[in-house]
Structure 1
Amino acid sequence: MTSETALSVFVIAGETSGDHLGGALMAALKAKTGGRVAFTGVGGEAMQAEGLEPLFPFSDITVMGADAIIRRLPQLLARIRQTAAAVVAQKPDVLVIIDAPDFTHRVARKVRRQDPSIPIVDYVSPTVWVWRPGRAKAMAAYVDRLMAVLPFEPGVHARLGGPPTTYVGHPVLETLLPELPASDHGVEAEKRPVLLILPGSRSSEISALLPTFGEAVARIAERVEGVRPVLPAVSHLADRIEAEVADWPVKAEVVRGREAKLAAFAEARAALAASGTVTLELAVAGVPMAVAYKLDAVARALRVVNRVFRFVNYTTMVLPNIILEEHAIPDFLEEDVTPEKLADAVVPLLADTPTRRRQIAAFARLDALMRLHDGALPSERAAETVLDMVRTKAG
């Protein structure tokens, strides 16, 4: 890129969450270059809205579940080859791959073998800090810069021999915090506290957790007068959830849409949640929680093997706990996911107790660890990192 030419960026996302990250990154790159940037690659609606010219429909590679991947494997492999060939033919100023390592990293490795001069930036680290740590060193051969969304990841990659890594901030700092309504988290409504119920965003998670969550809510209601269960539901699952909670002994309210979710987060006194990114959203929003998860058959088998060979390195599945390096939030896995244990963990969070205050204090420490100290947004810091990579290669 020169002062007369536009920056050429080839950007690849492999799933919906990556598409949202890519859209925000593209908007920030346009802002920082005065619009002198052209995008090509693979992405969905968010990236296309920012000017992406997609190689093929996003749905060709957004495949969930082992069975679906096996059925569509020939198409997926063909798309990997097509994408890598397009990158090499275009020879962009930079290739940005976003999450979805089963697709994006395969493309990156092919590009590196065919044209080592193209700089490659990876946005979102694989979970090398949980399992398969050897991936970090392997990535160093084909990733020139890694943009991490968790604050401890630069240290992890330095220790494991991974690529140079920059913490650019987690997207919840940009997508959740600015939109949250002002809240005292139900201090005034403590006599009828809102309890968020978040059984996951996948059908399998809901099947595994929602019945137990319902039994836990019944026990909580016996001990906390007036408790109000509220379930923010993903749109395509809302009807199903409404049907399943209809016969709960405590009337539960199912809310739909982003505004309703944000309002529920602002009003909530506590939450009972499945493990996942939502735990980080709750912590950032200041909502104390208890967390549960049940594994699928493959993960359950790996858990048994791990007791012998110890290839998974963390004893908690809750992201805020991992970032804090302390067990601030109670979590329950597999056989420990019982109505009694969940109720015992949630009840102290609904009143002004030392248990509740300890979690809130932990959230303050988490906020200090996660925020970018200069006040930049994650998408802005990511764009700066990409432009720095281009300048470094050009120099």
Structure 2
Amino acid sequence: MMQARATAPIARTIFVVATEASGDRLGANLMKVLRQRLGDAVRFEGVGGQSMAREGLVSLFPIEELSIIGVSAVVKHLPKILRLIRTTADAVVEASPDILVIVDSPDFTHRVARRVRAQDPSIPIIDYVAPSVWAWRPGRASAMRSYVDHVLALLPFEPDEYRRLGGPPCSYVGHPLTEQVTVLRPGIEEQKRREETPPVLLVLPGSRRSEIRHHMAVFGEALGRLKAEGVAFELILPTMPHLQDAVDAALTNWPLQPRVVTGEHEKRAAFRIARAALAKSGTVTLELAIAGVPMVAGYRTGGLEASIIRRLINVKSVILANLVVGENVVPEYLQQDCTPEKLFRALLDVLADTPLRRRQLEAFAKIDTIMSTGNQPPSLRAAEIVLEAMRKSRRSA
């Protein structure tokens, strides 16, 4: 009697598109978990950076081709951007994957998704990182229903907002920062340094050259006023290696010189000993909140971008830490309000033992509960939803 031969599992094709460094890291972690679950029965295609390349992805094009910041720069490079959108969408349709996962960068990835849905409606599409429809252009939520099957949210309040706005199904999977708690929070000796004098003050002007250009002068002047007032502090400026030349050039005009540290390891070490921070608004404010570092936030951008943002913004705060804790505990100074005098005054409050500082620390103490994922890593939660969407799809039946 002949023995039946075991059949090899059907190979699954997963197409992942991520065009920024943060999305590249999310995509890589997702790929790693999916490969653990599917083994050799999965292959990846798509667009990504170095992190996804380490997981075996051969990108359609280098994501550096899309590192374009600012409205005027986008207009100048629009033909190239549109060409890359068409190239990516055509590659998805040709690959005929079991699922398409778009990661953040909605101005690019959603245009790809819409073209794919129009050409082949049978390909399920997952959007990893919910666009901020609760902050601006809320009509995007309902529009997404026509080309996105499921949204994976990094922030706990986003599923409710998507339901309220009539968007596609949305699930909170957790923010990758929640996996960095142990490296962001101080040990016993580091906590002692937080409480010693002079206090460590972090200055975080941004992770893009345009942000360095807009923030360094005003931040430097605010810190100079703090020093002139006789306030003692040790100043640390964490940055990334590719920005060091821009930071060094801007520092030549500062009235005081910080200790500049580069790379993620050095940045986290600085977070663990910091008493307070002056930061540009963005993800770094949530990172500081998780680390338990009271802060002042400021943001400046070009005139055209600022006028567009003012017309479209739909929230009481643009500070991510405030939005997560549900209170405006972090003072924010945007555009014309981002002045050396206002930043200086607010820094006095967060460096000293004041009601403002205590209110921030009390709010930040709630973050673990607010952002809990039940001890399940975000990438694992995200992978489970991707796998479930593949199982439900008639393409994988």
* Mean Cα deviation higher: 79-88 or 281-290: 79-88
What amino acid maps onto 2:116 in structure 1? V
Check 1:303–1:21 CA distance in 2 against 1; reply closer, same or farther (3 A cut).
Answer: closer
Q: How far is the alpha carbon of 1:42 from its aligned partner?
A: 1.0
SS in 1 for 2:52: helix
Q: Does 1:160 align with 2:161?
A: no
1:186 and 1:193 in contact (8 A); partners too: no
1:357 is aligned to 358
Q: For 1:89 and 1:187, locate their aligned partners in 2 and report how far apart those are by CA, in whole Å.
A: 57
What amino acid maps onto 2:345 in structure 1? D
Q: How far is the alpha carbon of 1:64 from its aligned partner?
A: 3.1
1:191 and 1:225 in contact (8 A); partners too: no
2:193 and 2:273 in contact (8 A); partners too: no
Q: For 1:111 and 1:257, locate their aligned partners in 2 and report how far apart those are by CA, in whole Å.
A: 37
Query: Identity percentage over the alignment?
Result: 49
Q: Does 1:191 align with 2:192?
A: no
Q: For 2:194 and 2:160, locate their aligned partners in 1 and report how far apart those are by CA, in whole Å.
A: 42
TM-score scaled to structure 2, two decimals?
0.91
Q: For 1:211 and 1:53, locate their aligned partners in 2 and report how far apart those are by CA, in whole Å.
A: 40
2:97 is aligned to 92
What amino acid maps onto 1:322 in structure 2? L
1:391 is aligned to 391
Q: How far is the alpha carbon of 1:228 from its aligned partner?
A: 0.9
Select the residue among 106, 116, 131 that pairs with 2:111: 106
Q: For 1:53 and 1:203, locate their aligned partners in 2 and report how far apart those are by CA, in whole Å.
A: 27
Q: Does 1:325 align with 2:331?
A: no
Q: For 2:208 and 2:290, locate their aligned partners in 1 and report how far apart those are by CA, in whole Å.
A: 22
Q: How far is the alpha carbon of 1:102 from its aligned partner?
A: 1.8
1:328 and 1:358 in contact (8 A); partners too: yes
What amino acid maps onto 1:126 in structure 2? P
Residues matched between the structures, number = 387
TM-score scaled to structure 1, two decimals?
0.91
Check 1:216–1:73 CA distance in 2 against 1; reply closer, same or farther (3 A cut).
Answer: closer
1:15 and 1:62 in contact (8 A); partners too: yes
Q: How far is the alpha carbon of 1:256 from its aligned partner?
A: 1.4
Q: How far is the alpha carbon of 1:303 from its aligned partner?
A: 5.5
What amino acid maps onto 1:335 in structure 2? Q
Check 1:186–1:342 CA distance in 2 against 1; reply closer, same or farther (3 A cut).
Answer: farther
Check 1:204–1:185 CA distance in 2 against 1; reply closer, same or farther (3 A cut).
Answer: farther
* Mean Cα deviation higher: 127-136 or 209-218: 209-218
Check 1:158–1:27 CA distance in 2 against 1; reply closer, same or farther (3 A cut).
Answer: same
Select the residue among 33, 52, 62 that pairs with 2:38: 33
2:14 is aligned to 9
Q: Does 1:262 align with 2:268?
A: yes
State how 1:20-169 maps to structure 2 within 5 Å: 20-169=25-174
Q: For 2:31 and 2:106, locate their aligned partners in 1 and report how far apart those are by CA, in whole Å.
A: 20
Select the residue among 178, 183, 189 that pairs with 1:179: 183
* Mean Cα deviation higher: 348-357 or 129-138: 348-357
Q: How far is the alpha carbon of 1:125 from its aligned partner?
A: 1.5
Q: For 2:192 and 2:278, locate their aligned partners in 1 and report how far apart those are by CA, in whole Å.
A: 16
* Mean Cα deviation higher: 217-226 or 111-120: 217-226
Q: For 1:188 and 1:254, locate their aligned partners in 2 and report how far apart those are by CA, in whole Å.
A: 18
Q: How far is the alpha carbon of 1:5 from its aligned partner?
A: 1.4
2:375 is aligned to 375
2:294 and 2:357 in contact (8 A); partners too: yes
Q: For 1:42 and 1:177, locate their aligned partners in 2 and report how far apart those are by CA, in whole Å.
A: 29
1:315 is aligned to 316
Q: For 2:151 and 2:338, locate their aligned partners in 1 and report how far apart those are by CA, in whole Å.
A: 36
Q: How far is the alpha carbon of 1:164 from its aligned partner?
A: 0.2
SS in 2 for 1:147: strand
2:237 and 2:259 in contact (8 A); partners too: yes
Q: For 2:63 and 2:142, locate their aligned partners in 1 and report how far apart those are by CA, in whole Å.
A: 30
For structure 1, the 5+ residue unaligned runs are: none
Q: For 1:326 and 1:11, locate their aligned partners in 2 and report how far apart those are by CA, in whole Å.
A: 35
Q: For 1:89 and 1:237, locate their aligned partners in 2 and report how far apart those are by CA, in whole Å.
A: 38
SS in 2 for 1:12: strand
1:338 is aligned to 339
